[in-house]
Structure 1
Amino acid sequence: MAEAEAHHHHHEQHHGHDKHEHHGHEDHDHGAMIDDFKRRFYVSLGLTIPIMALSPMIQEWMGVDWNFSGSQYLLFVLATVVFVYGGKPFLTGAWSELKGREPGMMTLIAFAIVVAYGYSTLTVFGLGASNFYWELATLITIMLVGHWVEMRSIQGASSALEELVKLMPSEAHRLDENGDIHDAAIEELEPGDHVLVRPGEKIPADGTIVKGASTVDESMITGESIPVEKTTDDTLIAGAINKEGSLTLSIEKTGSDSYLSQVVDLVKKAQQSKSRAQNFSDRAAKWLFYIALGAGLLTLIVWLISGFDFAFALERMVTVMVIACPHALGLAIPLVVSVSTSLSAQKGLFIRNRTQFEEARRVDAILFDKTGTLTKGSFGVTDVVLEAAENEEEVLRLAAALENESEHPLARGIVEAARERGIDWPQAESFENLTGKGLQGTVEGRSILIVSPGYAKDEEWNFSEEQFQALADEGKTVIFVAEEKQVLAMIALADQIRESSFDAVKRLKEMGIEPMMLTGDNQKVAHWVGRQLGLDSIYAEVLPDEKAAKVKELQHQGYRTAMTGDGINDAPALAAADLGIAVGAGTDVAMETADVVLVESDPEDVVSILELSEATSRKMKQNLWWAAGYNIIAIPLAAGVLYSIGVLMNPAVGAVLMSLSTIIVAINARLLRLPERKISRGDEKIVGDDE
């Protein structure tokens, strides 16, 4: 099982990295590997049945005699096929474990099957009495099914970084000296080229605006929730979306120098440096390997000293060594894994990296990205401050009539607010977009403007400065609704906090975990949201590449950190954290670098992950005790501790005990349940939540 982890880690590692030269079946994708195990399992299972029927020990046990001349040689041939074909993944796995001087599960299995095969083959060709081919065949079959079950449940990792690159448009409109447009592939762009970016297009490469003004949505990249106004001499990042105006851009960085490529590199590095958390059953297997080796040799020596013949002493040694590898251990973890994976899938949690997920229960600090995680990432009206207007209804009616024509995220917030209050708005008679400044139009014959604070100040309109300042200090976005030059009202909008964020923060604190906020958004907004939620640690205006550094800094302070985020700007931090959680149908890149993906953008699900991790780990420990318990009893008996009183554990009895411990482990795994929620999460989906 742990080797599937190791394989999986290999896979995680060589996603797009050429860190290892891989050979053999590691070169296939994960799916092919699963099919490979499945094939080996079916072949081994098919051959195990005749092997059991032909085994003298099993026949003796059942009181039948199915031997015929040469039946032992047929048995040898069948067992050899199972040993070579079915056992290959374990033998190659053990080889790489031993090369790395880290014996684990693979070494334990390989050791048992090599000893069983070697000894049984000697017995067929004339040494000793009983053979262990049935033990060899059942062990290989059960271990293959364990691996297959586990690999199937951790499948679903696809290749990360190509997704980032998909963000990039494939071509750009390059301008020549005469200002004519020629479409060119992104790769052909040179620093200093001028390109035209039309409304709605993605910025093709990092550069500076030489002509035009527009608002640009950088939320995918920086996490800043509000589209940013850009004008001449401002810099633009490749992959951001140009909203309303046409821009002429002078290219500065292309290809691997660009900001996105640097994010890709950060993610790669963080993924490579992720430690392979040594697995629980791997450690158990390592000790069992040493115990089996030690107990076997000790048994051999003691029986020889006691004056028994070599054949008898060898049989005792082999019995001990083979029994020391419990079938149940191979299933103890994979079965729990498959149950916990399907449980989590029902809850909308998708686990990509088992090891990090199992370690999640140790987390003591959770970093939340703000936009789209703690908040909905969509704007809502928080205040309407009346100036010359009679009432809020009138203001929202006029504002909605104009904003209804606009595509801006703030516009949606205003239209939504009017709709929620049941206000009907008229059709605007004329409408004009003042790029980067606001909107202007005629509603019911009145000339209405909706503009930014900057515009209101430039025009020297009269409005209450203190109230404006108070709203701005809370990090809210304020817009002015005016008729001619008279300010009717100020409308404040802010990113709306999710209902479930309050509960999640409270429950994390109860669990002794410190919730923190780490966001690219500005200080004011971050602190306003943080205060509402009762967060003590707030890190704002953190650039994407600084996010990963912040995570590392907290790790140096001794925190085991989980990071929750949804954008590209979170990807390096998700990869660097002890547990990376991608929320919502965020960007594919965030999902790729995360260990767990949440289908809903619900902070409460973060609490579920920690609870499930705790429950899963408890079950695994119970199962390992059941599996190892069998050994603790079986090894001394097989070695002949009670021989003096006539009790010698016959391998057939060992087989019965072994089946029992395997069945107990399987049943126990199915009993895994998620702790019930104190409150039922009804369908309180909030409007606008799924954009």
Structure 2
Amino acid sequence: MVSTDLTVGGMTCAACVGRVEKRLARIGGVSAGVNLATGRARVLHPADVPVADLVAAVERAGYTAETAAPGAPPTPREEEPEEGRLLLATLLALPVLALSMVPALQFPAWQWVCFALAVPVVTWGSAGFHRRALRGLRHATATMDTLVSLGVAASFGWSAYALFLGGAGAVGMRMPFSLTATGGAAHVYLEAAVGVPLFVLAGRRLEARVRRSGGSALRALAELGAKEVCLRGEDGAERLVPVELLLPGQEFVVRPGERVATDGVVVEGGSALDLSLLTGESVPVEVGPGDAVAGATVNVGGALVVRATAVGADTQLARITALVAEAQAGKAKAQRLADAVAGVFVPCVLTVAACVLGFWLGAGAASQTAVTAAVAVLVVACPCALGLATPTALLAATGRGAELGVLVRGPEVLESLRRVDTVVLDKTGTLTTGRMALTDVTTVRGTPADEVLRLAGAVEHRSEHPIGRAVAAAALERCGALPPVDGFAATAGLGVRGTVEGRAVRLVRPDAAAAPLPPELARAVAAAEEAGRTAVLVEVDGQAEALLTVGDTVRAGSWRALHRLRGLGLEPVLATGDGPGAARAVARELGIEEVHASASPERKAELVAELRAGGRRVAVVGDGVNDAVALASADLGVALASGSDAAIGAAGLTLVRGDIETVVDAVRLARRTLATIRANLLWAFGYNLVLIPLAAVGLLNPMLAAVAMSLSSLLVVGNSLRLRTWQPGRGRRPKR
């Protein structure tokens, strides 16, 4: 079997996704998964099936298609420019709604004014619905656009008939309420004709904004790598070229602050690399000749010369990108309930309306009464409430979530939270600050800790290494101004030295000490290694004076956040790229029982798959590129806004504030939003189930049907707006 990616254009709803998948599946041996958010179709097909046949099949379904490189970042899909139609519908529909629904406002010839205002809304404003409905009719399918087009056409057509032929055009006519279909010829239903496109256009705009953000994870990953590389020729000359021209075996230079252009091996120089974006490792890793390096990592130390070993699709970053694309393809299977039932609902409504018309005519009723009853069925079935149920709740939740520091991606994400019982948490940058800080100072022979830290900080103040910056920052905070240093020198992978106030000060790795360590410092080294932190030995005039412990620190509120997650019935699991010592130390401090240390991006994704295979519903909380695959493959992904764009793009929820406790607020807001969407859909369907039979038997005229349809929409909107006042309800703080 061969895998081919297609870019599909023209899809607007989940029903379109199903149509493309079914059309491709008609080709023998072909299966396809279509992602509405990215506009991509991943097709598995026999090698003897040409790609041209796949493209032709999509085009026969009424869409456009072209081949796309597997794993390549999707370009934002072009949305139909509906902003002008929405503005027109808003300006013209509001007066029509007011005049039609409030009899006291009806002046002489008001109905003709409403008719003139409604014509642009019904024609140009609703053109997109009519065009897509006709396209579906040509392919013998029905979507939400079919319902909208039918509702607009039925209500406007009957209104035109009533105005020109039914006596409703008389000057001075007013529309009284009537509960039955009899006498309905003097009524116009222009409020339904303009209200349906107004409400649905607004909802579609909100949904389009959500869809456009769906491919951001892959675009962010593609932009993460270096754009240019400094090649070094055989003669030692250097030249800057686009990274696409780099070939395996070529050597390139990586200066301090630059990203490594691609995977390779160091041939010259020594430095420290920040691997946190790819591996989650919080401590920069020292590298030298012979050490392997990964593309997209950041050089935070000296200059390096690297020989490229892999480029393009063979790099570690490219593999992560492909895994994210694979994981996101599975999410496209979730379809909104309204779109899923549209193919059955529309034929049923048409059948009922035709049967009602035939029954009344066969029973000897007046033609106006029969037509009025049939139109009432079509008008009452207009899908305003169905179209508003999800986007209005999403809008309200998004606004409230933004105020609370939570960004919600879309309804399909909220639906997946229904039975989440396990939360996989990254360590670096999620539970911890992700920044190096001084955590402990151990001295010997009664030497004051602040005095040793003052001398050490003076030397490290000249260093650019993250550990040195952490020591210098702590010294400045605790000791104030630092004395000057003379003869500063740094040795890559070893440490720094200098003369401060006439005293020789050296900061090195403990294993590089000039003499055996005193017992108290040896114990401090062992404790630092057990906790997964970095130990720095301070020697003054050749004597070991102190041991500085530097490491990542737990975020304020992490313990309380985990306590509240357990209160919601969620079990925390720690998965980190850090070593076992650092992982166990954080787990002990936060009370996490299940720990997975030294976890690569692939291993994190495997862990999510294993948990899901065991029957668990998994949410993943992370902030780096190393978390992107797990975020995309989990039932729910939660990213910190302080993290990478790739993690944010792959996640369903994004936490804007640095407060880790916002995770709990996000979970509770998501659950509340899902409950609101369910209530909205229940009302929308229940309303149709009750009122369509009433309209069919003549107990509901089109005017009252339009009122009921509008009220159902208002109830759905009102229920959704309750989310704007939702409070997290943190309650009492737990005692540790």
The alignment's TM-score, normalised by the length of structure 1, stands at 0.84
Residues 1:147 and 1:248: Cα distance change in structure 2 (over 3 Å): closer
| 1:385 and 2:442 aligned | yes
For 1:40, which of 80, 85, 90 is the aligned residue? 85
Contact 2:281 2:577 in 1 (8 A): yes
Residues 1:497 and 1:3: Cα distance change in structure 2 (over 3 Å): same
SS at structure 1 position matched to 2:256: coil
| 1:320 and 2:377 aligned | yes
For 2:704, which of 647, 653, 672 is the aligned residue? 653
For 2:125, which of 86, 94, 97 is the aligned residue? 86
291-300 or 343-352, which deviates more: 291-300
CA distance in 1, matches of 2:495, 2:107: 93
649-658 or 434-443, which deviates more: 649-658
| 1:13 and 2:44 aligned | no
Deviations 1:456-506 (A, max 9, x none): 3xx553343444223311212111111244221222222100111111100
SS at structure 1 position matched to 2:407: strand
Shift of 1:298: 4.9
CA distance in 2, matches of 1:102, 1:455: 75
Shift of 1:385: 2.5
| 1:271 and 2:346 aligned | no
Report the counterpart of residue 255 of structure 1 in structure 2. 312
Report the counterpart of residue 689 of structure 1 in structure 2. none
Report the counterpart of residue 687 of structure 1 in structure 2. none
2:82 maps to a residue whose letter is: F
Shift of 1:529: 0.5
Shift of 1:378: 1.4
CA distance in 2, matches of 1:352, 1:404: 43
Contact 2:35 2:41 in 1 (8 A): no
Report the counterpart of residue 356 of structure 1 in structure 2. 413
| 1:662 and 2:722 aligned | no
Shift of 1:657: 3.0
Residues 1:17 and 1:92: Cα distance change in structure 2 (over 3 Å): farther
Report the counterpart of residue 179 of structure 1 in structure 2. 236
Deviations 1:98-133 (A, max 9, x none): 899986644433443455567778889989957756
CA distance in 2, matches of 1:679, 1:433: 52
560-569 or 137-146, which deviates more: 137-146
583-592 or 153-162, which deviates more: 153-162
Contact 2:251 2:307 in 1 (8 A): yes
CA distance in 1, matches of 2:13, 2:404: 25
1:12 maps to a residue whose letter is: A
Report the counterpart of residue 643 of structure 2 in structure 1. 586
SS at structure 1 position matched to 2:437: strand
1:108-507 aligned within 5 A:
108-116=147-155, 135-151=192-208, 159-282=216-339, 289=346, 292-293=349-350, 295-300=352-357, 302-303=359-360, 306-308=363-365, 312-388=369-445, 390-422=447-479, 425-456=482-513, 459=514, 461-464=516-519, 465-507=522-564
Shift of 1:26: 11
SS at structure 2 position matched to 1:13: coil
Deviations 1:129-158 (A, max 9, x none): 577565333322332233335545776667
246-255 or 506-515, which deviates more: 246-255
SS at structure 2 position matched to 1:329: helix
The total of aligned residue pairs comes to 665
Contact 1:161 1:589 in 2 (8 A): yes
194-203 or 272-281, which deviates more: 272-281
CA distance in 1, matches of 2:463, 2:195: 69
SS at structure 2 position matched to 1:233: coil
229-238 or 145-154, which deviates more: 145-154
SS at structure 2 position matched to 1:499: coil
Report the counterpart of residue 574 of structure 2 in structure 1. 517
CA distance in 2, matches of 1:420, 1:637: 76
Contact 2:390 2:411 in 1 (8 A): no
Contact 2:476 2:482 in 1 (8 A): no
SS at structure 2 position matched to 1:548: helix
Contact 2:414 2:671 in 1 (8 A): no
Which runs of 5 or more structure 1 residues have no equivalent in the other structure?
682-691
1:494 maps to a residue whose letter is: G
Contact 1:372 1:601 in 2 (8 A): no
SS at structure 2 position matched to 1:671: helix
SS at structure 1 position matched to 2:38: helix
Contact 1:481 1:489 in 2 (8 A): yes
SS at structure 1 position matched to 2:573: strand
Contact 2:379 2:702 in 1 (8 A): no
Residues 1:162 and 1:66: Cα distance change in structure 2 (over 3 Å): closer
1:670 maps to a residue whose letter is: L
Contact 1:116 1:318 in 2 (8 A): yes
CA distance in 2, matches of 1:680, 1:403: 43
CA distance in 2, matches of 1:53, 1:667: 19
Report the counterpart of residue 686 of structure 1 in structure 2. none
Residues 1:58 and 1:294: Cα distance change in structure 2 (over 3 Å): farther
Shift of 1:511: 0.3
CA distance in 2, matches of 1:341, 1:140: 23
Contact 1:17 1:268 in 2 (8 A): no
CA distance in 2, matches of 1:209, 1:474: 30
SS at structure 2 position matched to 1:253: coil
CA distance in 2, matches of 1:503, 1:397: 35
2:516 maps to a residue whose letter is: W
The alignment's TM-score, normalised by the length of structure 2, stands at 0.79
Deviations 1:497-521 (A, max 9, x none): 0111111100000000111111111
CA distance in 1, matches of 2:93, 2:611: 53
For 1:557, which of 610, 614, 620 is the aligned residue? 614
571-580 or 620-629, which deviates more: 620-629
Residues 1:59 and 1:191: Cα distance change in structure 2 (over 3 Å): same
Identity across the alignment (%): 34
303-312 or 215-224, which deviates more: 303-312
Cα-Cα RMSD: 4.0
Deviations 1:385-411 (A, max 9, x none): 223452322221221111122122222
Contact 2:414 2:673 in 1 (8 A): no
Report the counterpart of residue 727 of structure 2 in structure 1. 675
Report the counterpart of residue 635 of structure 1 in structure 2. 692
1:13 maps to a residue whose letter is: T
CA distance in 2, matches of 1:404, 1:38: 56
Which runs of 5 or more structure 2 residues have no equivalent in the other structure?
1-10, 18-33, 44-53, 67-73, 167-183
Contact 2:373 2:702 in 1 (8 A): no
Contact 2:225 2:261 in 1 (8 A): yes
CA distance in 2, matches of 1:120, 1:159: 46
109-118 or 588-597, which deviates more: 109-118
1:205 maps to a residue whose letter is: T
CA distance in 2, matches of 1:601, 1:16: 36
Residues 1:81 and 1:543: Cα distance change in structure 2 (over 3 Å): same
Contact 2:76 2:215 in 1 (8 A): no
